[in-house]
Amino acid sequence: MKLWEEIESARNKIRRAILRTPMIYSDTLSKLTGKEVFLKLENLQKTGSFKIRGAYYKLSRFTPPMKKRGVVAASAGNHAQGVALASSILGIHSTIVMPEGVSLAKQMATQAYGGEVVLFGQNTDEALGYAKKLARDGKFLIHPFDDGQVIAGQGTIGLEILEEVPGVEAIIAPMGGGGLISEIAAIVKKRRPNVKIIGVQSIHAPSAYYSLKRKKIVEVKVKPTLADGIAIQRVGEITFPMIQKGVDEIITVNEDEIASAILLLMERKRIVAEGAGATPLAALLSKRLKTRSKKIVLVISGGNIDFHLLDRIIEKGLAQTGRLIRMSILLKDVPGALAKLTSLAAQHRANILHIIHERAAKDIPIGFSKVILVLETRGPDHIREIKKGLAGKGYSLQMLS
């Protein structure tokens, strides 16, 4: 069966089990970028990501004897939940190996979908090694991306995009191991060869980026990233030739750009996207894309963000866009000095989020205290206004990162 034929077969198989996720046009993002921007909202898919598409199609092909043996998968999040739910729907026992440091929320979600969670290793690669051992003992391994049937399931997104945005000129999707983008490319290039396929990687996990440049698979050392869903050491053996054939461009984005994209989606569209899911918007906003395409679909691949990270991400995003600043000011240690300072900040309509008041540090002169203000502002122009106003009143201030 040819690749594009298997994708069509996959759609028929998974149609009743997965959602056809919304495709929305964003007037806000279109005006901001000068493009026609559409969002394919896989963050609203069952389990919160596209991964169930491939997992369900793979498992739906199992015969009864295969089902009895059960399956095993390794994942820190989305693939784990996709395999767990797909297995439950099809009556198959699933063992999900997760790294020991994975969040409790992801463990609980995987268990709630019916998976038996086993904690092993310090990262996904070590967890995958243990999952392969379990597979040698009799279970079937469901690889997150380097499996033809899993890839075909993910490719059904490409079919939906072509039907929902017939005039699409470019599709931007996240890239880790390459399972999502390779099959989107396969079906889209078959139907519409002129559509540009653009992959996005975190600058902290750029295996596909360097592999495409060097025309061979390159393994990289992964650094911590907000886009943990695509933090893969090496692109897949099966997916890499497909990427070489069908992907027109790969771009990397940094942590500040990812944080800003997450914040923008939340503020302007009320869309919760995880780091990987926000990378297509980060790429578009970076203005580093080579394509001049106007009608663009961004694949928002998932929304499973750990809520304890949201405060940090929101703060980072606000700082990156000039909406939050931290400043250190020396005050005379006399009654009313702090009240005068906060009153001045209020006059400039800066919202004070935090105040840290310190007297005992070694670098503070006797008779003075140090105040660190964290202010919410309207942007760079407002920041300049606040700094000018404080300096005009004789305050010596230092901006903090």
Same domain for 335 and 368, yes or no, is: yes
Q: Say how far apart CA 356 and CA 334 lie, in whole Å.
A: 16
Same domain for 77 and 213, yes or no, is: no
Residue given tokens 């998932």 in the structure block = 302
3-class SS letters over 132-194? HHHHHCCCEECCCCCCHHHHHHHHHHHHHHHHHCCCCCEEEEECCCCHHHHHHHHHHHHHCCC
Same domain for 40 and 58, yes or no, is: no
Same domain for 259 and 296, yes or no, is: yes
CATH number for the domain harbouring residue 186: 3.40.50.1100
Q: What is the pLDDT of residue 3?
A: 67
Q: What is the pLDDT of residue 1?
A: 64
Q: What is the pLDDT of residue 117?
A: 96
Residue given tokens 């996709």 in the structure block = 82
Same domain for 135 and 180, yes or no, is: no
Same domain for 29 and 94, yes or no, is: no
Same domain for 190 and 306, yes or no, is: yes
pTM: 0.86
Q: How far is CA 120 from the centre of its chain?
A: 24
Please identify, among 257, 285, 318, the residue that sits at the C-terminal boundary of a domain.
318
Same domain for 98 and 169, yes or no, is: no
Q: Say how far apart CA 390 and CA 147 lie, in whole Å.
A: 61
Q: What is the pLDDT of residue 160?
A: 97
CATH number for the domain harbouring residue 352: 3.30.70.260
Report how many domains make up the chain.
Answer: 3
Question: In this predicted model, what pLDDT tens digit does every residue of 71-112 receive, in sequence order?
Answer: 999 998 899 999 999 999 999 999 999 999 888 888 999 999
CB atoms within 10 A of CB 127: 25
Token readout for 143 is: 């690889």
Please identify, among 141, 162, 197, the residue that sits at the C-terminal boundary of a domain.
141
Q: Which ranges of the chain have pLDDT less than 50? A: none
Q: What is the pLDDT of residue 5?
A: 81
Same domain for 37 and 124, yes or no, is: no
Question: In this predicted model, what pLDDT tens digit does every residue of 237-288 receive, in sequence order?
Answer: 999 999 999 999 999 999 989 998 999 999 899 999 999 999 999 999 999 9
Please identify, among 100, 115, 141, the residue that sits at the C-terminal boundary of a domain.
141
Amino acid, res. 16: R
Q: What is the DSSP letter of 360?
A: -
Same domain for 364 and 284, yes or no, is: no
Same domain for 294 and 213, yes or no, is: yes
Nearest to 305 by CA among 53, 112, 116, 43: 43
Same domain for 273 and 389, yes or no, is: no
For residue 137, what are the domain limits?
51-141
